[in-house]
Structure 1
Amino acid sequence: MSISLLLEMAASSDQDRTAVVSDELRFTTGELSALADGGAGVIAASGARSVAYVGTGGAMLPLLLFAAARAGVPLTPLNYRLSGDRLRELIDRLPDPLLISDDEYRNAAGASVRRALGSGEFVTAARASEPLSLSPDPEDIAVVLFTSGTTSRPKAVELTHNNLVSYITGTVEFAGAQPEDVALICVPPYHIAGVGAALSNLYAGRKMVYLRSFTPEEWIRLVNTEAVTTATVVPTMLDRIVGALSATPTPLPTLRNLAYGGSKVALPLVRKALDLLPEVGFVNAYGLTETSSTIAVLTPDDHRAARASTDEDVRKRLGSVGQAVPGIEVQIRSEQGAVLPAGQPGELYVRGPQVSGKYTGIGSVLDAEGWFPTKDLAVLDAEGYLFVHGRSDDTIIRGGENIAPAELEDVFVEHPDVHEVAVVGVEDAEWGQIIVAVVVPTAGTTPDPEALRTHIRNNLRGSRTPDRVVFRDHLPTTPTGKVLRRELVAELTLEPADQ
């Protein structure tokens, strides 16, 4: 089954249902399907073997997903925030691409591409083109996404039709949404969450409203004007939404569910959001590009139970990413590859039909039994709740002792003077690496570095005490909230130690 059949099913079920709202554009499922057929004709006529998209998404993302699928070529949404040189480098790694870009990004990467169209030109051409609707092999590549490259050169992840359809059909009930259900989408189109949102909401029968340029004020306005019932945000967005609602309390009467994910969310922020919006069901969704989106979910009931419980083991689950979704198996393994029991930390491995684990130019990294090494450090509790403690690449080795930054960060953010923090290892002649905490203070506070070090020492072993605490106005992050630790390490390496 190909992803194009997801749209065919939705259109056959109710072709007059509004599927997409993006600024002034509104498409029914029938209109989206017809336009995708025309778009497939445009792509086929170009002779391209892949489609690249540079833009902020909106209606263009679902349109291009299905048009490319029906043309039998993969789609690669690219990070429009990258420089022209970086974009050209990624485009050059794609086979015979047709580049489609929003007007404001046409000059960023289009000069060196033989086949290029503006988004508006593509839509116009699709309306006039001879329709085409191929049926790709389920094992053909549907989407190629570049990893963020926070720790290395971006890798091109290949997701097949089968990977993506397995995720959708395994986690979403077809046409299961209520007629009044509306999803607000503001995650970037080049992120797996953006791809997953487009496919899953269409399959569920939920109207999609796109917010292409996020501000908390506009997000709040759209929730109310479009009667949004469910929304997905990244942690930085959640932080800003909570800040805006705290400053100017605004009822959100239609909002039933709010999902967050993309990177770790500090527990104080989660607790504040739950208390601020008690009628909203919060969902923590964890996944990777290589797993076709979500592989574990902390449900609204899980959130409420953990927030209200007096049992410390249950309360801790508010900091977990929940339990594995249907069709996904998880293991925690030691450095030697042994499967570890509940309560013992190690590297997270996952397996299931939605898991790709394949990269262009590298091939599959699945082991002989189909398990994918996520490179995330994690632990499972006795009830199967998964706690993710960050990337194995981020581990600090100080004096021969392995230290996970998340262990310190979870304690730091409980201090009232700490709004955000990233803990990194910086090279040191004596210790190999030293521990440096980069702190964004809570507004209106001026924390004492020694007081913060004492806070850590009182809650963790003395070897976890940071060697240095430095302060910043903000942390460098990706658009999905992942801290760019390499940038911090490079910056701190050049600073005098007494800064």
Structure 2
Amino acid sequence: MSISLLLEMAASTNPERTALVSGEIRLTAAELSELADGGAGVIAAAGTSHVAYVGLGGAMLPLLLFSSARAGAAFTPLNYRLSADGLRELIDRLPQPLVVADAEYCDVVAGAGKQVITSDDFIAAARTAEPAAEFPDPEDVGVVLFTSGTTSRPKAVELTHNNLTSYITGTVEFDGAEPDDAALICVPPYHIAGVSAALSNLYAGRKMVYLPQFDPSEWVRLVRDEGVTSATVVPTMLDRIVSALDSEPVALPTLRNLAYGGSKVALPLVRKALGLLPDVGFVNAYGLTETSSTIAVLTPDDHREALASTDVRVTRRLGSVGQPVPGVELQIRDDSGQVVGPGETGELFVRGEQVSGRYAEIGSVLDADGWFPTKDVAWLDEEGYLFIGGRSDDTIIRGGENIAPAEIEDVLVEHPHVHDCAVVGPDDPQWGQIIVAVVVPAAGADPDPDELREHVRSQLRGSRTPDRVVFRDELPTNATGKVLRRELVQELTATN
């Protein structure tokens, strides 16, 4: 199945339903489909097979996603936060793209030697262009996304139409939403969560309400004014929403589900959110760009059961990412490649129709049996709940012993004087690497480094005790809330 068919199904089934709201733009499913046909005509007339987008998203994301598909072109939303040089470097890696850019980013991409059109001009042209509509081969590349590149050169992940639609049809009931259902979308357009949100909500028949620039007060206002029933946020957004609701409680009667993901969320924050919004069903969604979005989910019932239980085997599931979605298989393998049993830690491998594992310029990294190496350290419990221990690249090797930062972070963040933390391993001439805990203190707290070190020592082996504790007002993160550990290591190395 192609992405194009998802929109055709939605427009044919319920054409007058409001499909999206983005600022002053409000489009029904039929209007979005008609505009996408015109957008496909604009792309076809440009004679290109690839469309790049630089901008905040909103209505432009679903419009360009479906316009590109209907023109038989691949679509790449780019990180608008990058420098001009960074953007041009990525654009240069795409095959003769048409670049669509919001007005404020046109100067950034100008001079790259590519066709450039503003978002407003694209919409205007789409309204009058000769329509084009085709259904690409399911194995054609539909979307190319660049990984965040927090530790290396960004890779260009190729997702086929089949990868993306397999995820949607396997996890979403077509037209299964209630007539008044609305989803608030504020994840970045260049992240897989932004792409999957556009596809899944349209397929479900849910109105999409876009908030291109996140602000907790505006988020709360849109939930109330647009009758939002579901939303997806990254951890940094959840933290700010919880802080806003904690300082000024606001009733959100329509909100039924709130999904969070993109990076690890501290358990104290999850517990506080559950307490502030007891009638909301929380969902922890874990996935990767290479897997077309979510591969495991901790459901609202899982959250409630873990929070209420006195059984440690159940309560610890609040720190898991749940169980695999339909159609996805999981394996945990040790360093020798052998599959390990429940409770044993290793690297997570995944397999399924939604899994791409293919990169431009590199090719497929799937093994002979179709398994994708995620590079995430993980383990499964007896009931199949998945626990993520961080990236294998983050492992600290101190004195020849492998240490997972997440193990220490999970203990540190439970201290009442700690709001957030990250554990990294700068180089050290004696130990190879040392353990440094970078701590964001809780509001009004003045933590004692030795007290925090003792807190860790009391719960973990002595070798896990941080060699140093340093304090920061905030941790450097990317748009999805992932801590930029490389920046911390560079900063710590420079101050030694």
Per the alignment, residue 225 of structure 2 pairs with 225
Structure 1 vs Structure 2 CA RMSD? 0.5
Q: Secondary structure at the match of 2:434?
A: strand
- Equivalence for 1:32: 32
1:232 shift after superposition: 0.3
Shift of 1:109: 1.3
* Separation in structure 1 between the aligned mates of residue 398 and residue 317 of structure 2, nearest angstrom: 29
Which SS does the other structure have where 1:402 is aligned? strand
| Residues 177-196 of structure 1, C-alpha deviations (whole Å, 9 max, x = no match) | 00010000000000000000
Which residue does the alignment assign to 2:397? 397
Are 1:324 and 2:312 counterparts?
A: no
Q: How far apart are 1:48 and its partner, in Å? A: 1.2
Deviations 1:55-95 (A, max 9, x none): 01001000000000010010000001111110000000000
| TM-score, normalisation: structure 2 | 1.00
How many Å separate the matches in 2 of 1:174 and 1:22? 23
| Cα displacement string for residues 252-276 of structure 1 (whole angstroms, at most 9, x for unaligned residues) | 0000000000000000000000011
Deviation at 1:429, TM superposition (A): 0.8
CA distance in 2, matches of 1:321, 1:360: 29
Which runs of at least 4 in structure 1 moved beyond 2 Å after TM superposition? none
Can you give the 5+ residue segments of structure 2 that lack an aligned partner in the other structure?
Answer: none
**Match of 1:36, SS?**
helix
The DSSP-based 3-state class of the residue aligned with 2:183 is strand
Give, in whole Å, the separation in 1 of the partners of 2:440 and 2:315.
26
Cα distance in 2 for partners of 1:111, 1:309 equals 60
Question: 2:51 aligns to what?
Answer: 51
Residue number in structure 1 paired with 2:382: 382
Tell me the equivalent position of 1:152. 152
Q: Render the CA deviation track for 1:233-267: whole Å, top value 9, x for unaligned.
A: 00000000000000000000000000000000000
| Residue 114 (structure 1) shift | 2.7
Contact 1:424 1:437 (C-alpha < 8 Å) held by counterparts:
yes
Instruction: Give the SS at the match of 1:242.
Output: helix
Q: Secondary structure at the match of 2:275?
A: helix
By how many angstroms is 1:151 displaced? 1.2
**Could you tell me which residue of structure 2 aligns to residue 349 of structure 1?**
349
Counterparts of 1:393 and 1:435, CA distance in 2: 15
Please show how residues 39-118 of structure 1 align to structure 2 within 5 Å: 39-118=39-118
The equivalent of 1:171 in structure 2 is 171
CA distance in 2, matches of 1:488, 1:153: 18
- Displacement of 1:134 in angstroms is 1.3
Residue aligned with 2:458, SS: helix
Partners of 2:273 and 2:113 lie apart in 1 by: 45
- Partners of 1:467 and 1:113 in 2: how far apart? 51
Secondary structure, aligned partner of 1:44: helix
Instruction: Please tell me whether residue 300 in structure 1 is matched to residue 300 in structure 2.
Output: yes
Q: Cα distance, 1:113 vs. partner?
A: 3.3
Q: Distance in 2 between matches of 1:134 and 1:13?
A: 19
Distance across 2 between alignment mates of 1:8 and 1:473: 49
Residues 449-480 of structure 1: per-residue CA shift (max 9 Å, x gap): 11100000001000000011000111110010
- In the alignment, which residue of structure 1 is the partner of 2:425? 425
Q: What is the distance in 1 between the residues matched to 2:254 and 2:14?
A: 24
Secondary structure, aligned partner of 1:111: coil
Q: What SS is found at the alignment partner of 2:249?
A: coil
Matched residues in 1 for 2:48 and 2:121: separation? 16
Is residue 234 from structure 1 mapped to residue 234 from structure 2 by the alignment? yes
Q: How many residues align?
A: 496
Find the counterpart in structure 2 of residue 246 from structure 1: 246
SS in 2 for 1:459: coil
**Counterpart residue type for residue 185 of structure 1:** I
Partner of 1:453: 453
Q: Does the Cα contact within 8 Å between 1:99 and 1:113 map onto a contact in 2?
A: no
**Unaligned segments of structure 1, at least 5 residues:** none
Match in the other structure for 2:340: 340
Q: Percent identity?
A: 74
CA offsets 1:289-343 (integer angstroms, 9 cap, x no match) = 0000000000000000000001000000000000000000000000100000000
After TM superposition, the structure 1 = structure 2 runs for residues 123-134 of structure 1, keeping only pairs within 5 Å, are 123-134=123-134
Q: Which residue of 1 aligns with 2:140?
A: 140
TM-score normalised by L of structure 1: 0.99
| 2:485 corresponds to | 485
Q: CA deviation at 1:135?
A: 1.5
Cα pair 1:262 1:286 within 8 Å, conserved:
yes
Q: Distance in 1 between matches of 2:263 and 2:458?
A: 27
Q: 1:367 — aligned with what?
A: 367
Report the Cα distance in structure 2 between the residues aligned to 1:361 and 1:230, rounded to whole angstroms. Answer: 38
Q: How many Å separate the matches in 2 of 1:479 and 1:463?
A: 33
Say which SS state the counterpart of residue 453 (structure 1) adopts. helix
Quote the residue 1:408 is aligned against: 408
- Letter matched to residue 200 of structure 2: S
Distance 2:44 2:4 in 1: 15
Q: Is the 8 A contact 1:52 1:76 kept in 2?
A: yes
- Partner secondary structure for residue 254 of structure 2: coil
Q: Distance in 1 between matches of 2:213 and 2:429?
A: 45
Distance 1:418 1:277 in 2: 23
Report what 1:206 is aligned to. 206
Q: Secondary structure at the match of 1:112?
A: coil
CA distance in 1, matches of 2:202, 2:287: 20
Q: Distance in 2 between matches of 1:485 and 1:472?
A: 13
Aligned to 1:258: 258
CA contact (8 A) 1:99 1:110 kept: no
